[in-house]
Amino acid sequence: MHEITCYTMKKNISDIKTRFTFDGGIKRTNVFFVAIAEAFLFVLSILKETFSRDFEYKEFFRQCFQIGYKTLPLISITGIIIGFVITIQSRPVLIKFGAVTMLPGMVAVSLIREMGPVITALICAGKIGSGMGAELGSMRVSEQIDAMEVSATNPVKFLVVTRVWAATLMIPLLILYADALGIIGGWAGANIKGNVSFVLFFSQAFGHVIFMDLFPAIVKSFFFGAIIGLVGCYKGYTAGRGTESVGKAANSAVVVSSLLVIIVDMIAVQITDLL
Amino acid sequence: MTNTAQKVMNTSDVSGSKDVVIKITNLKKGFGSQPVLKNVSLQLMNGENLAILGKSGSGKSVLIKCIVRLLNPDDGVINVLGEDMRALNSKHLGEIRKKIGFLFQSGALYDSMTVKQNLEFPLRRIKKHLVQKEIDEKVKEALDHVGLSDAIDKMPSQLSGGMRKRISLARTIVVDPQIMLYDEPTTGLDPITSNEISTLINDVQKKYKTSSIIITHDIACARLTANRVIMLKDGEVYLDGTLAEFEKTTDPLITSFFK
């Protein structure tokens, strides 16, 4: 097999496609395997470029700023509303069971284990994934990626590696931030019909949270971040030449990364359940 | 044997000369079952401006993208500055690419960067030894050369089509390439701006001593810039000669182009 670099990746993909240009059902079946092979080579080239020399730190920090800081307003509003809504919806049920004192703990556990990571990841898939798909797709269409290549700059290293790692590191932080704001939203929700102090709500909330609630959630958050970064970049980087493909890249980045987030969440829940 | 084929054979005779900067032999490239370049052989001499003419879809852009290996040829030999481009690994390919400037049809300026950052981008990667002061000087010099020093802090979205082409040209020459590849440099521009870009191409050749391939279907641009002209038709070299020879010929395809 050829050396896997960004320069040879396209050639490898082209070779695979050439080998599988049969007619009929075989072609359709092989399209799936070609797509898997393309994605595999893409991930492989990212891993290789991550550990090669001259990491693009400046672009990496710029992307961390774009992904982290610029998503904060959306995540802040969403986080508070999630906590608020969970509290409002759960309170009558807990009152019915005489367990209203469990409300802060229930809000905290459900936010940290499930609601915070999944909802934040889905929002990030919409905002960050589509942004990456559209940006790289339009760079492909307007030959900016080609311009980088002929400037002896590795576009996978500069554009993709930095974005994927920025998403992998920033999305877990956004999820923790959304969890914290969700608990504040929960406290606000609890005070609409009740009267509970902020300190009491927080101490009751974290009194029910154990390490095994937090740890699997943080681990799966990194996977969510990686999925959103990888899918967004892959869809944009491999976009076709027409302007229509920019829209398709952005759209499929959101659809595929959202679907993968849900699937990975399901697997993570099963694994956590076994622990 | 046709005149065309004869001329190609004649130019190939000097393949061993060190004045040849690009030599392409029997290049073939297709997309799926559609052949685009069928059997292209040509060479670019040192200090020469070679214009490649042809109708849309004749494979002109594919040809220069094969030269820098943005596209991988199906068959044939591409020799650039004595190196077989198809045999190079990514590291050596990068080294050769540093010596080649490529002006894209769309300009291909990086949208998220200012004009200054666009020019600094290749400089920082190709001329790694330069300090910030030297980088600033080279950026200023390149912008002065294209007459757009005032646009240094503008974003590409704030530039007109002609300005984008000029800035793109400045970004290409800022790293002092030995070879320039122009992909339809005057397409989409008004005649006055086209004329200015053509003049700039000549200035670049004189100042930086570059050898250039100019892909175009703009005869005015070819007339102003080219020392030699090649006509591509259906993925093959149809005629190779000087402008005077092209203008003398009675071949209907050539005459319709030069009307």
Would you call B184 helix, strand, or coil by DSSP?
coil
Residue-number span of the structural domain to which B65 is assigned:
1-99+218-259
Would you call B179 helix, strand, or coil by DSSP?
strand
**Are A6 and A125 in a shared domain?**
no
**Are A139 and A209 in a shared domain?**
yes
Q: Are B214 and B201 in contact (CB under 8 A)?
A: yes
**Are A238 and A170 in a shared domain?**
yes
**Are A148 and A24 in a shared domain?**
no
Interacting residues of B107 by C-beta distance below 8 A, sequence separation 6+: B156, B164, B165, B167, B168
Question: Residue A8 pLDDT > 80, yes or no?
Answer: no
Question: Residue B14 pLDDT > 80, yes or no?
Answer: no
**Are A108 and A169 in a shared domain?**
yes
- pLDDT, tens digit (0-9, with 9 covering 90-100), for B167-218: 999 999 999 999 999 999 988 888 888 888 899 899 888 888 899 999 998 8
- pLDDT, tens digit (0-9, with 9 covering 90-100), for A46-83: 999 898 888 899 999 999 999 999 999 999 999 999 99
> Which residue did the predictor score with more confidence, A255 or A9?
A255
Task: Identify the domain boundary among A34, A52, A70.
Answer: A52
Contacts of B90 in chain A (CB under 8 A): 3, 5-8, 154
**Are A61 and A47 in a shared domain?**
no
Question: Residue A7 pLDDT > 50, yes or no?
Answer: no
Question: Residue A29 pLDDT > 80, yes or no?
Answer: no
Question: Residue A209 pLDDT > 90, yes or no?
Answer: no
The pLDDT assigned to A26 comes to 57
CA-wise closest residue to B45 among B218, B190, B220, B230: B230
Question: Residue A24 pLDDT > 80, yes or no?
Answer: no
| Global model pTM greater than 0.80 | yes
Residue-number span of the structural domain to which A75 is assigned:
56-274
**Are A235 and A178 in a shared domain?**
yes
**Of A23-37, A131-145, B49-63, B105-119, the least confident:** A23-37
Q: Is residue B55 part of a domain?
A: yes
What average pLDDT does the segment A26-30 reach? Answer: 65
- How far apart are the C-alpha atoms of B142 and B116, rounded to whole Å? 10
DSSP count for chain B of H helices, then E strands: 10, 10
Question: Residue B17 pLDDT > 60, yes or no?
Answer: no
**Are A9 and A135 in a shared domain?**
no
> Which residue did the predictor score with more confidence, A32 or B122?
B122
In this structure, what CATH number is given to the domain that contains residue B39?
3.40.50.300
Question: Residue A193 pLDDT > 90, yes or no?
Answer: no
Please provide the size of chain A in residues: 275
Burial class (CB in 10 A: 0-12, 13-18, 19+), B218: buried
Q: Is residue B254 part of a domain?
A: yes
Q: In this complex, do A153 and B110 lie within 8 Å of one another by their Cβ atoms? A: no
Report how far apart, in Å, the C-alpha atoms of B257 and of each of B38, B115, B192, B210, B217 are.
Answer: 22, 36, 20, 27, 8
Would you call B150 helix, strand, or coil by DSSP?
helix
Q: Scan residues 68-97 of B and list those with Cβ closer than 8 Å to A.
A: 68-70, 72, 89-90, 93-95, 97
Contacts of A143 in chain B (CB under 8 A): 104-106, 108
Tell the residue number behind the tokens 């409002």, with chain if given.
A88
Return mean pLDDT, chain B: 87
B114 close to A (CB below 8 A): no
**Are A32 and A99 in a shared domain?**
no
Would you call B103 helix, strand, or coil by DSSP?
strand
For A243, the token pair is: 């302007």
Closest by Cβ to A151, choosing from B90, B112, B122: B122
Query: What is the pLDDT confidence band of residue A225, given thresholds at 50, 70 and 90?
Result: very high
Closest by Cβ to A142, choosing from B94, B108, B175: B108
Q: Which amino acid does the sequence have at A247? A: G
Among A2, A4, A7, the strongest candidate for a mutation testing the B interface, having the largest count of B CBs within 10 A, is: A7
B105 close to A (CB below 8 A): yes
Would you call A253 helix, strand, or coil by DSSP?
helix
Number of compact structural domains in chain B: 1
Q: Are B210 and B204 in contact (CB under 8 A)?
A: yes
Q: Is residue B168 part of a domain?
A: no
**Are A235 and A261 in a shared domain?**
yes
- How far apart are the C-alpha atoms of B61 and B215, rounded to whole Å? 7
Q: In this complex, do A153 and B69 lie within 8 Å of one another by their Cβ atoms? A: no
Number of compact structural domains in chain A: 2
Question: Residue A28 pLDDT > 70, yes or no?
Answer: no
The pLDDT assigned to B4 comes to 45
Q: Is residue B30 part of a domain?
A: yes
Q: Are B4 and B26 in contact (CB under 8 A)?
A: no
To the nearest whole Å, the CA of B127 is away from the closest chain A CA by 11
**Are A34 and A150 in a shared domain?**
no
Q: Is residue B226 part of a domain?
A: yes
**Of A14-28, A169-183, A260-274, B238-252, the least confident:** A14-28
**Are A4 and A138 in a shared domain?**
no
Question: Residue B3 pLDDT > 70, yes or no?
Answer: no
Q: Which residues of A162-200 are buried (b: 16+ CB within 10 A; e: fewer)?
A: bbbbbbbbbbbbbbbbbbbbbbbbbbbbbeeeeebeeee
Q: Are A228 and A256 in contact (CB under 8 A)?
A: no
